[in-house]
Amino acid sequence: MPRRFLALLTLLFLPAYGQTKIPDKPAGAPSEIYRSVVRIESAMQVPDYSAPWNSGRFGGGIGTGFIIGKNKILTNAHVVSNTRRLLITVHGSPEKYPAKVDFIAHDCDLALLSVEDFSDFEEFPVFKIGGVPELESQVRVIGYPIGGERLSVTRGVVSRVDYSSYSHSRADQHLVIQIDAAINPGNSGGPVLQDGKVIGVAFQGRRDADNTGYIIPTPVINRFLTDIADGRYDHYVDLAVSTFPLYNPAMRKALQLPADGNGVLVRNVIPEGTCDGILKAGDLLVEIDGHPIDSAGQILIDGAKVEFSEIVERKFAGNKVQLRFRSDGAWHDQDVTLKPLTQNQMYAIQYEKQPRYLVFAGLVFQPLDTNLFATEKFDNYQVRRLYQDYLSEGIFLERQDIVVMTQLLNDTINSRLDEFQGMAVDKINGTPVTSLDQANELLNGEPEDGFHVIEFLGGKRPLVIPAAEVAAANERIQRTYEIDQLVNLQE
């Protein structure tokens, strides 16, 4: 065949490159739905917890989103977290559309976006939400992996339905679906399809395994969309209990449980949580909303075994859940009213918030949370214990904040005080410290003897600062270290 003829065939069948308008597709064409899968370009600014007075570092990333309604684009929260600018492009078009975040849920890694002008998208197909796929069924993943300019479509098989951690917040666990197709950077937020409907949102993969990806299933998606229907996101509710599996036959016999493989032992109940005053450590929990709980803490729902917490996952604040449990030898069937466990935010990575801090005579004080813990890598035993036990031991009842002295900005007023760096504050001028706001008030007051005395948990001696020298020291430190604001108490 002549080379000129081959070249002509190539030109005829290759798609045009660099088109400047969104291409029209005939109705019902298999690729028509691709127009509704968008590429999201995010410019972000990440707070600097090691120097909290700084504005933070800038960065960027690429993700995927898809249209689920009129000016409603669903994606992952981690694609648009800490964003300062969002631009959206459509498959086959170079035009960039400014967008904004309307709702974001870091606990389940979902966000809903809108564009400033939706008129160019009016005729695009809208994705419909489906159900939970069966094991071994085939799915299709659509997105822009590794920041590519062009759409990518891969196929995989559902290999597991599980209840697992969501890496975005580091503190939350929800239902996940595992597929044998890799989820790479850029795929995040893209639709996963089966029979033309969305059965999940691609959101994370594994670095230690090939061709393994995870998607957010439709029960989580539907809960998010239901939650925001009233114009705000209210977060998940929690039973606020921890349980222990009852596999051991000897333990079951000692607890006078039948050998039916059901029931878990209540290990701890969080103070002021949903079950406080209802359950207690040592109780036996055997059913939730009529679903038997097996000895591993799982129930059968939607044809799969998952953690019994999945029942609570699908409910909202104010909803009730029925528990069957044994306490002090008696069986109880009781409805409990669900509520959020806000104190759990200690263990969740925070986004869209500025670090709180206080600089006093070169001493830098910050409230302990996971952002700070990950930045400073504390090795002080007291700080690590307070962090670990903050929720389970009810430390939050006494201390709204765990105030830590994270740094020492050298000045003549604070020479030879570096031994206190990385320690948790116990008292200031004899008063127990319960929050950063209170610490600020105490340090800005006038001490009776002219000296500010700061005591630390586990400290061998107090830290003493002459009050009369603080104002001059603050001016020097602010100038030397170029700190615009010595105090920020607002997130």
Average pLDDT over residues 126-138: 94
pLDDT at 361 over 60: yes
The catalytic position among 42, 78, 172, 401 is: 78
Asked if residue 23 is part of any domain, the answer here is no
Token readout for 346 is 């200690």
Of the residues 72, 87, 121, the one at which a domain ends: 121
Q: Is 109 a catalytic residue?
A: yes
Query: Could you tell me the CATH number of the domain that includes residue 116?
Result: 2.40.10.10
Of the residues 77, 92, 121, the one at which a domain ends: 121
The catalytic position among 42, 188, 295, 309 is: 188
Asked if residue 383 is part of any domain, the answer here is yes
Max CA separation in the chain (angstroms): 101
Asked if residue 8 is part of any domain, the answer here is no
pLDDT digit string, tens, across residues 300-348: 987 778 899 999 999 999 999 999 999 999 999 999 999 999 999 999 9
Contact 102, 232 (CB under 8 A): no
Whether residue 365 sits in one domain with residue 466: yes
Classify burial at 447, counting beta carbons within 10 Å of its beta carbon; exposed 0-12, middle 13-18, buried 19 or more: middle
Whether residue 162 sits in one domain with residue 87: no
Q: How confident is the model at residue 271 (pLDDT cuts 50, 70, 90)?
A: very high
pLDDT at 215 over 50: yes
pLDDT digit string, tens, across residues 400-427: 999 999 999 999 999 999 999 999 999 9
DSSP string over 2-17: -HHHHHHHHHHHSPPS
pLDDT score recorded for residue 293 = 97
Asked if residue 22 is part of any domain, the answer here is no
Gap between the Cα atoms of 315 and 312, Å rounded: 5
Asked if residue 11 is part of any domain, the answer here is no
Asked if residue 65 is part of any domain, the answer here is yes
pLDDT score recorded for residue 26 = 33
Gap between the Cα atoms of 95 and 453, Å rounded: 61
pLDDT at 27 over 90: no
pLDDT score recorded for residue 431 = 97
The catalytic position among 109, 172, 227, 294 is: 109
pLDDT score recorded for residue 181 = 82
pLDDT digit string, tens, across residues 81-117: 999 999 999 988 889 999 999 999 999 999 999 999 9
Number of domains in the chain: 4
Of the residues 203, 230, 257, the one at which a domain ends: 230
Q: Is 169 a catalytic residue?
A: no
| Percent of the chain with pLDDT strictly greater than 70 | 93
Q: What is the dihedral of CA 366, 368, 372, 374, to 10 degrees?
A: 160
pLDDT score recorded for residue 17 = 30
Closest to 24 (Cα-Cα) out of 14, 35, 37: 35
pLDDT at 438 over 80: yes
pLDDT score recorded for residue 305 = 86
Q: How confident is the model at residue 126 (pLDDT cuts 50, 70, 90)?
A: very high
Please state, as a whole number, how many other Cβ atoms lie within 10 Å of the Cβ of residue 200. 28
pLDDT digit string, tens, across residues 149-191: 788 999 999 999 888 899 999 999 999 999 998 788 889 999 9
pLDDT at 16 over 60: no
Q: Per residue in 417-446, is it b (16+ CB within 10 Å) or e — as a string?
A: beebebbbbbebbeeebebbbbbbebbeee
Whether residue 463 sits in one domain with residue 389: yes
Query: Could you tell me the CATH number of the domain that includes residue 289?
Result: 2.30.42.10
pLDDT score recorded for residue 12 = 28
Asked if residue 335 is part of any domain, the answer here is yes
DSSP class of residue 44 equals E
Asked if residue 26 is part of any domain, the answer here is no
Average pLDDT over residues 468-475: 97
Whether residue 175 sits in one domain with residue 108: no
Query: Could you tell me the CATH number of the domain that includes residue 362?
Result: 3.20.190.20
pLDDT at 351 over 90: yes
The secondary structure element, H or E, covering residue 128 is none
Helix (H, G, I), strand (E, B) or coil at 469: helix
Whether residue 469 sits in one domain with residue 403: yes
- Looking up tokens 């019994």 gives 308
Average pLDDT, the chain: 90
pLDDT score recorded for residue 147 = 64
Q: Which whole-number Å values give the CA distances from 158 to 76, 88, 135, 216, 352, in the listed order?
A: 20, 30, 5, 12, 34
Q: Give the residue with greater pLDDT, 2 vs 277.
A: 277
- Residue 391 sits in which domain range? 355-488
Whether residue 249 sits in one domain with residue 177: no
